[in-house]
């Protein structure tokens, strides 16, 4: 049987047979008017829908504001102060102020900067009633005025081009200033410099807020410092994430002078190794329990196996605090020093990944439905 080949030939006569319908001028005008009316109707539907959603949103906001103010039980003078901060006496202006913590704290800061002092009750009672304190985890920390007594802080001072870290807590907070408790060394160094200091507020597991505060003076005790209130400069989280590990390690402690001797004389025998228990770890520091007291300022060096012993990190920490621990042991709180960027990034990834895995394992198991 012979093969047959078929070829498709394009025929232009098909398009010649397709012709648009013919309309009169009146019919064309009516069609255009009909399409325009349909478009206007669709636009009206979209506009009315958006307006309805906006009214529902504002009604929800005002209902939330009403519940909040009823729960706060503000006095008339406090409501007047609130309206002055909002710039208007309307409920919507109150909501826009209270729903935005950044604007709320900024307005207070501007009032004090311009010399229009607020009542002392506002800094205490009213702020507590509204929930704008560090205890309310649903509201970010925007100002140091939100800090409460016993809140942990970290103070950074620079000496010889190197940062000096001092840990303490908030003692009391006023309208213009607040008082903290740190080491006497920090107070002496700051009194000599009288410059701005970097203050970090440690919140929860994974947050640190940075402030640049101007010192006002010292308190009654040698370790008390009075600072002016300031707005937050930056909020970040990697340093505050601490991970419980409970790993036994072999370490040795060195002072700064001993490090210099070791560098000059490699034949000097190393320090005596001791067994310690690593309690927790972060990319900023660690805590370890051991048998003997280690002076503050000394360094603890040890090796830690990560990711199923596939990588070993050489960690060095400067002892910030060493205090008695249970069972006749000592607890050292150390800050990591000398770790390069690659090692610190790797440590941060390991800590965060391990924390996420532990949180997932603690999450309730949901039953799947078909």
Residue 142 CB contacts under 8 Å (≥ 6 apart), including other chains: 101, 102, 104, 105, 106, 231, 232
Using CA atoms, how far apart are residues 99 and 64, in angstroms rounded to an integer? 10
pLDDT at 345: 72
Select 241-360's CATH number: 3.40.390.10, 2.40.10.220, 2.60.40.10, 2.60.120.260.
2.40.10.220
* Strand order across the beta sheet in which 177-181 lies: 215-218, 224-228, 177-181, 162-173, 152-159, 197-203, 207-213, 232-236
Q: Are strands 285-290 and 330-336 parallel, antiparallel or unpaired?
A: antiparallel
- Among 9-23, 147-161, 268-282, 286-300, the minimum mean pLDDT is found in 9-23
Place 268 in a pLDDT band, splitting at 50, 70 and 90.
very low
State the helix-helix crossing angle for 101-113 and 76-86, rounded to 10 degrees.
Answer: 90
Q: Find out whether 273 and 242 touch, Cβ atoms under 8 Å.
A: no
pLDDT at 40: 92
Specify the DSSP element, H or E, that contains 24.
none
CB atoms within 10 A of CB 229: 23
Q: Where are the domains of the chain?
A: 31-132, 144-238, 241-360
pLDDT at 8: 54
In this model, does residue 369 exceed pLDDT 50? no
Residue 312 C-beta-side C-alpha neighbours within 13 Å: 4
Domain 144-238 has CATH 1.20.1740: no
Residue 24 CB contacts under 8 Å (≥ 6 apart), including other chains: none
Using CA atoms, how far apart are residues 74 and 130, in angstroms rounded to an integer? 9
Nearest CA among 214, 209, 156 for reference residue 186? 156
- Longest Cα–Cα distance of the chain, Å, equals 115
State the helix-helix crossing angle for 25-72 and 91-98, rounded to 10 degrees.
Answer: 70
Backbone angles phi, psi at 251, to 5 degrees: -135, 170
In this model, does residue 238 exceed pLDDT 50? no
pLDDT, tens digit (0-9, with 9 covering 90-100), for 2-33: 555 555 555 556 656 666 677 777 877 888 89
For 152-238, strand residue ranges (E) read 152-159, 162-173, 177-181, 197-203, 207-213, 215-218, 224-228, 232-236
**pTM score, whole prediction:** 0.50
Using CA atoms, how far apart are residues 285 and 240, in angstroms rounded to an integer? 9
Place 42 in a pLDDT band, splitting at 50, 70 and 90.
very high
Using CA atoms, how far apart are residues 126 and 90, in angstroms rounded to an integer? 19
pLDDT, tens digit (0-9, with 9 covering 90-100), for 178-220: 999 887 888 887 776 667 888 888 765 456 788 888 888 888 8
| pLDDT over 70, % of the chain | 73
- The predicted model gives 318-323 an average pLDDT of 86
pLDDT at 46: 92
Residue 93 C-beta-side C-alpha neighbours within 13 Å: 12
């Amino acid at each position: 049987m012979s093969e047959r080949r078929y070829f498709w030939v394009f025929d232009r006569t098909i398009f010649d047979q397709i012709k648009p319908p013919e309309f009169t001028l009146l019919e064309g005008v009516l069609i255009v008017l009909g399409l325009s009316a349909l478009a206007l109707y669709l636009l009206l539907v979209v506009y009315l829908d958006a307006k309805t959603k906006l009214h529902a949103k504002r009604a929800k906001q005002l209902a939330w504001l009403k519940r909040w103010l009823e729960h706060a039980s503000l006095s008339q003078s406090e409501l007047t102060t609130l309206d002055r901060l909002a710039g208007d006496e309307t409920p919507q202006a109150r909501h826009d102020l209270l729903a935005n913590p950044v604007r709320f704290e900024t307005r207070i800061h501007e009032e004090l900067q311009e010399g229009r002092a607020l009542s002392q009750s506002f800094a205490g009672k009213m702020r507590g009633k509204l929930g704008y304190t560090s205890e309310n985890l649903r509201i970010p920390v925007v100002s140091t005025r939100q800090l409460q007594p016993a809140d942990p802080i970290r103070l950074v001072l620079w000496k010889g081009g190197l940062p000096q870290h001092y840990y303490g807590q908030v003692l009391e907070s006023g309208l213009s200033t607040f008082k903290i408790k740190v080491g006497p060394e920090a107070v002496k160094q700051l009194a000599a410099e009288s410059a701005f200091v970097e203050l970090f507020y440690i919140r929860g597991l994974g947050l640190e807020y940075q402030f640049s505060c101007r010192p006002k003076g010292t308190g009654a005790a040698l370790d008390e410092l009075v600072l002016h209130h300031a707005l937050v400069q930056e909020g970040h989280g990697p340093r505050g994430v601490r991970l419980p590990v409970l790993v036994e390690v072999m370490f040795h402690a060195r002072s700064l002078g001993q490090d210099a001797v070791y560098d000059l004389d490699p034949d000097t025998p190393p320090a005596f190794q001791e067994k310690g228990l690593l309690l927790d770890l972060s990319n900023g520091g660690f805590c370890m329990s051991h048998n003997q007291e280690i002076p503050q300022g000394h360094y603890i060096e040890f090796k830690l196996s990560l990711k199923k012993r596939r990588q070993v990190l050489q960690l060095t920490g400067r002892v910030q605090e060493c205090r008695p621990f249970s069972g006749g042991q000592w607890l050292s709180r150390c800050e990591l020093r000398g770790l390069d960027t690659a090692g610190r990034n790797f440590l941060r990834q390991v800590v965060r990944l391990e924390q996420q895995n532990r949180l997932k394992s603690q999450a309730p198991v949901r039953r799947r439905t078909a």
